Structure 1
């Protein structure tokens, strides 16, 4: 996730009790020798992990570790990977790019580490990307969504990129809601907001939608949007794409849109998770947003099994980050199995590139940037609560 969204989701985890224990994990003793061309020998396969287990983003990392551990436990109970048990070597980067780089360098120096799970947030993942290429050690980031991260060589993602959400929202507007006239409101000073809006407009035009108005604010933190929303209302738009964060869209943009008479659909990206509401929850009817996972997704049979296993192991419900990290382990497993009995790191990378995968967070094929073109969950606000609406599959 990007830095702003990281802070947002940590708040949600604390409020809803989704986060697991905040106890950090540390790695064991590691070899100083380069293992970029070494094969997986012996009876154990080691997967390294780099997550944020302390500091303000600890809820993110701990939820990911819970997903990693569950998947590895299942794999080992089923006989391991190529008959070998899987070991997790876990490192805490404290949400700091330097700490993340140091952790990755330690893991890459251990010949037994065949792939790295993580890092957690976009800032730490961006620091690791060039190191993964240099050491020829695959890293799979569960939740780092920023488009700016250099991926596609040895760094891959289990999550979709920020801009992909804009494309999916345009497709949902055209194919599912079947609207014709759409408008956009975004914050020019925020890459997440402006980048997602740009991808929405590009896809909307390709799909034949009429972008009748395009409005902006100087940042994604403003609290007054009435003038822009009045123009949008006057444009005749049926659908408004407003990629802001939960703390702005909820108490400001949506109520202000309704107050100027806009009764059409309002849609946003995963920044709407934990949407802050006013007392009048009826204002949020016809509000949708895209996200990575929903426990109410009945279309994906893997979801129910995952939730049952997670509850049994952790005595709590999984969140998005646990689901993404769970899939990350199985992505690594699939690649290692495809690479052969005693694969090198380079062989794992080759097996992972362009691969197809079916997981809890969707079915996808990795594109040339190492990012999924995957199914996206659309949630709809009903009576003030987000509920599963549908799954939008890749084009």
Structure 2
């Protein structure tokens, strides 16, 4: 395997995990009762208070609705980090407030304004990309520094000097996925099923096709769907089968991916499946036969099975509180809080400073700092002045109902 080239490509810009993103977001979500283990307090009251003077950090995400796996994971991951830091009793203390945006841009804007009225000094942006595009523009205007755990579209950060990403960007997910499939020899004939009304999916698809052509990867066809046609994939799967595809690339989220796996099984069609960070969450889909996900591969920046002390501690706390294994969105949000802590310490910021002054200090710090977190690898995480992150991806495969590292 040409691992060196994979990592260098991934670290050229912001590459996951859109795992749920995630990263990117779909077009809409419908509010419904939170999933099991969700916060029992209303979203508008979903805050945690530090023991002393604290920096006010806000974020929006789908805490209810179809994309709630992403939003709840980010909220919970950030909360664990905040609780750890506050328990230390150091100079840096945080108060966290996550608002429910049900993965709808208009709702995210209202949620952002609620957080602004609350006194938000630093933002975690929005969990999904399309709401993230809207709220990041507001943060740019208001000069509120933003570090999003999973808003992976380039449009979230483009032209906004105070908006940064912790997650891989969509185009670089496409680039690294093509490179990984090629280097590992995972498929001889590749077919792509993608969502053409979603910036997350289209961004990954376009870059994947470009890189596949450069590598000589045999892409035998592609088929699209939209939000309104995301329940029946018989036509797309039939096209892939007739084209002789032995691997289907899915730059989409876990909900339609679970339907594709189910319908492929009903057809007796069993190619390999390779996804991106938005697939992270497929094992938690209600009513889905998770045995059908056996062998599914994806790229993600986080491995919950890692044995280093930091990962073990995080996974243990998450499982104790929520009775489930954290995905990459939880880990990215956890890393966001600790990266902000590091930057605030380095710049000497204090909670009595204005959001604008904190913003300017963090803009000066992030492009020059290296952060070691749960995601990426031991080489550390860095950012360029555009807000794009550089960190290494991990190849994962689902085995026995769990994610297992491929490298």
Q: Which of the five TM-score ranges fits, normalised by the shorter chain?
A: 0.7 to 0.9
Structure 2 residue corresponding to 1:116, chosen from 113, 123, 131: 123
Contact 1:284 1:381 (8 Å CA) reproduced: yes
Structure 2 residue corresponding to 1:4, chosen from 12, 26, 38: 26
Q: In the alignment, does 2:298 pair up with 1:289?
A: yes
Pair 1:54–1:238, CA change in 2 (3 A): closer
What is the aligned partner in structure 1 of residue 3 from structure 2? none
Contact 1:45 1:114 (8 Å CA) reproduced: no
What is the aligned partner in structure 2 of residue 351 from structure 1? 365
Q: Give the Cα–Cα distance (whole angstroms) in 1 for the partners of residues 230 and 77 of structure 2.
A: 36
Aligned with 2:168: secondary structure? coil
Note the C-alpha offset of 1:197.
1.7
Structure 1 residue corresponding to 2:193, chosen from 185, 193, 197: 185
Contact 2:25 2:151 (8 Å CA) reproduced: no
Q: Give the Cα–Cα distance (whole angstroms) in 1 for the partners of residues 137 and 45 of structure 2.
A: 23
Alignment of 1:302-321 (within 5 A): 302-311=310-319, 314=321, 316-317=323-324, 319-320=326-327, 321=329
What is the aligned partner in structure 1 of residue 112 from structure 2? 101
Q: Give the Cα–Cα distance (whole angstroms) in 1 for the partners of residues 294 and 149 of structure 2.
A: 31
Alignment of 1:55-66 (within 5 A): 55-56=64-65, 61-66=71-76
Aligned with 1:216: secondary structure? strand
Alignment of 1:257-272 (within 5 A): 259=267, 263-272=270-279
| Cα deviation 1:105-160 (Å, max 9, x = unaligned) | 335xx5xx652233333344323212322232211122223343244511112222
Which structure: greater strand fraction? 1
What is the aligned partner in structure 2 of residue 249 from structure 1? 257
Q: In the alignment, does 2:381 pair up with 1:370?
A: no
Pair 1:196–1:10, CA change in 2 (3 A): farther
| Cα deviation 1:293-320 (Å, max 9, x = unaligned) | 342234x5531121234456x3644533
Structure 1 residue corresponding to 2:165, chosen from 157, 181, 187: 157
Pair 1:257–1:146, CA change in 2 (3 A): farther
Note the C-alpha offset of 1:93.
5.1
Note the C-alpha offset of 1:284.
4.7
Q: In the alignment, does 2:70 pair up with 1:48?
A: no
Structure 2 residue corresponding to 1:73, chosen from 80, 83, 104: 83
Aligned with 1:149: secondary structure? helix
Q: For structure 1, which runs of at least 5 residues remain unmatched after alignment?
A: 29-42
Q: Give the Cα–Cα distance (whole angstroms) in 2 for the partners of residues 224 and 381 of structure 1.
A: 24
Q: In the alignment, does 2:342 pair up with 1:334?
A: yes
Contact 2:297 2:395 (8 Å CA) reproduced: yes
What is the aligned partner in structure 2 of residue 214 from structure 1? 221
Query: Could you tell which deviates more after superposition, 127-136 or 221-230?
Result: 221-230
Q: In the alignment, does 2:406 pair up with 1:390?
A: yes
Contact 1:129 1:155 (8 Å CA) reproduced: yes
Number of residues of Structure 1 aligned to a counterpart in Structure 2: 361
Calculate the aligned-residue CA RMSD, in Å.
3.8
| Cα deviation 1:320-354 (Å, max 9, x = unaligned) | 34322211111101111222365842112210136
Note the C-alpha offset of 1:9.
12
What is the aligned partner in structure 2 of residue 35 from structure 1? none
Contact 1:22 1:59 (8 Å CA) reproduced: no
Structure 1 residue corresponding to 2:43, chosen from 24, 42, 54: 24
When the two structures are superposed, what TM-score results if normalisation uses the length of structure 1?
Answer: 0.74
Q: In the alignment, does 2:125 pair up with 1:86?
A: no
Aligned with 1:186: secondary structure? strand
Pair 1:237–1:310, CA change in 2 (3 A): closer
Pair 1:295–1:226, CA change in 2 (3 A): same
* Structure number, greater radius of gyration: 1
Pair 1:10–1:327, CA change in 2 (3 A): farther
Note the C-alpha offset of 1:268.
1.9
Q: Give the Cα–Cα distance (whole angstroms) in 1 for the partners of residues 288 and 311 of structure 2.
A: 31
Contact 2:165 2:388 (8 Å CA) reproduced: yes
Contact 2:220 2:243 (8 Å CA) reproduced: yes
Contact 1:188 1:216 (8 Å CA) reproduced: no
Contact 2:130 2:199 (8 Å CA) reproduced: no
RCO higher in structure (CA 8 A, sep ≥6): 2
